Amino acid sequence: MVNELSDFVLVSIALLGIGIYGLAVKRNFIRMLFAIEIIINAANLNMVAFGRFLPDSGGQTLALFSIAIAAAEVAVGLSLIIVAYRMYHNVDVADFRSLKG
């Protein structure tokens, strides 16, 4: 069985929807970070699928760049979360309320 392009795009759109849902509903920083990662991976899936069906190698290049950059981004984000955890012993968004106005 050969997968059509539309299958990949549908999965990617479903992942995008899951990511946005997760960002809107969850109140835990790590879960929100996961939701963002899901969106980035949805985009990666899109690019690899388009690259396969166009056909063109640019999509895979872009996906590799995007994976590497997302890893760097997550490293910085998790380190910020660790610093926050040491201060509050919690990573819930609701606990961060010192800045208001």
Partner 1 sequence: MIELSSTPLVIIIILGIVGVILPVINVIRKEKGSNSFYAVIAFAALILSIGYVGYQFVSDNILPSALFSKEVIVDDAFGGFFAIAMLIVAIFTTVGSFNYMRKQSYPSIYYSLILLSTIGMVLVAYSTDLIMLFVAWELMSIPTYALVGFIKRNPTSNEAALKYFLFGALSSAIIIYGISITYGITGSTNIGEVIQGYSNLDPSLVPLALLSVGMFIAGFGFKMGLVPFHQWLPDTYDGAPPTITTLLAAGTKKAGFAATIRIVVLGMVVLNLDWTLALGILAIMTMTVGNVAAIMQKSLSRMLAYSSIAHAGYILIGLAVAPHSSLGLQGSLYQILNHAVMKGMAFIAVAGIVTTLAVTNLDKLKGLGRKMPITSLGLVISLLALAGVPPLAGFWSKLMLFGGALDATSALWWAPWLAIAGVLNSALSLAYYGWIMRRMYFEGEREKRVKEPKSIIAVVIFSIIFLVGFGVYPEPIIQFVELATPVVSTTVMP
Residues engaged in binding partner 1 (CB under 8 A):
9, 12, 16, 19, 23, 29, 32-33, 36, 39-40, 42-44, 46-47, 50-51, 54, 56, 58-59, 61-62, 65-66, 69, 72-73, 76-77, 79-81, 83-84, 87-88, 96, 98-99, 101
Q: How far is the CB of 3 from partner 1 (least distance, A)?
A: 15
Q: How far is the CB of 6 from partner 1 (least distance, A)?
A: 11
CB closer to partner 1 out of 1 and 101: 101
CA-based nearest residue to 93, from 39, 35, 15, 37: 35
C-beta atoms surrounding 83 within 10 Å: 10
Q: How far is the CB of 2 from partner 1 (least distance, A)?
A: 19
Residue-wise over 42-80: b if at least 16 C-beta within 10 A, else e?
A: bbbbbbbbbbeeeeeeebeebbeeeeeebeeeeeebeee
Round to whole Å and give the CA distance between 46 and 58.
Answer: 12
Q: How far is the CB of 88 from partner 1 (least distance, A)?
A: 8
